[in-house]
């Protein structure tokens, strides 16, 4: 029997509905969920840790990348009512419930289906929140990190919740490679929240390659110089 992963565009698993209530930072929330989504029976610890350590300003434009049924994005909108929140997920079932939960919790948010950044046109986000779907493979997670750089405005941040012992260390290194910086914001249980800031318009990896090529071009001897270096001295 094959177990269907939640990182699936169109879940084929039998639909089983759930619902639960949660309280985060004194805010009472209600969620409708279903099978074929991540943590459908309760608000998972990773999401709680992510919310607790997220750095958001009240008028920020925030993207909840891989939103699931909307727990993180909806809570952020409740905490920062002047923020603009966009929530996307590859999972069509999750998107449907995220829309319902936004209405249920009386928050205004833009919610739509997108395979990573496929349908995300805006590139002026102040903050992107991400709980990488490690079980979907590092290739998908790396694509999310790389795409986040392209969709943030200058000075914007990618904030991820990770499990260092389950692929997290590699993703931290990827964040450093793309952004040129990464630091921890906090931790709880097996989860850590890490942040990278977009400090230039070009990814750090591309900048480093450009500088390497520049140095090679202007420090390597020309063919003529190399020929001269092989010529015997006249002394």
Write down the domain spans for the chain.
46-228
Model pTM score? 0.85
174-180 mean pLDDT: 97
What pLDDT is stored for residue 143 in this prediction? 97
pLDDT 10s digits, 88-132: 999 999 999 999 999 999 999 999 999 999 999 999 999 999 999
Which of these, 100, 118, 92, 111, lies nearest to 13 by C-alpha position? 92
Average pLDDT of every residue of the chain: 88
Superfamily of domain 46-228: Vaccinia Virus protein VP39 (3.40.50.150)
Identify the burial level of 43 via C-beta atoms within 10 angstroms of its C-beta, where 0-12 means exposed, 13-18 middle and 19 or more buried. Answer: buried
């Amino acid at each position: 029997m094959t177990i269907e992963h939640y990182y699936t565009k169109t879940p084929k698993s039998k639909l089983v509905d759930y619902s639960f209530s949660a309280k985060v930072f004194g805010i009472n929330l209600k969620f409708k969920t279903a099978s074929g989504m991540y943590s459908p029976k309760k608000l998972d610890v990773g999401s709680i840790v992510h919310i607790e350590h997220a750095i958001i300003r009240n008028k920020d434009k925030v993207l909840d990348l891989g939103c699931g049924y909307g727990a993180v994005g909806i809570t952020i909108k409740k905490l920062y009512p002047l923020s603009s929140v966009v929530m996307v997920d590859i999972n069509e079932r999750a998107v449907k419930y995220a829309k319902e939960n936004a209405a249920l919790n009386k928050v205004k948010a833009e919610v739509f289906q997108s395979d990573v950044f496929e349908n995300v046109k805006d590139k002026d986000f102040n903050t992107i929140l991400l709980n990488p779907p490690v079980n979907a493979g590092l290739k998908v997670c790396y694509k999310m990190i790389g795409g986040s750089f392209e969709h943030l405005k200058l000075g914007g941040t990618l904030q991820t919740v990770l499990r260092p012992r389950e692929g997290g260390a590699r993703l931290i290194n990827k964040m450093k490679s793309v952004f040129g910086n990464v630091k921890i914001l906090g931790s709880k249980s097996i989860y850590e929240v890490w942040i990278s800031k977009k400090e230039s318009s070009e990814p750090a990896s591309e900048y480093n390659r450009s500088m390497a090529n520049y140095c090679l071009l202007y420090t390597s001897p020309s063919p003529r110089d190399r020929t001269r270096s092989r010529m015997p001295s006249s002394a």
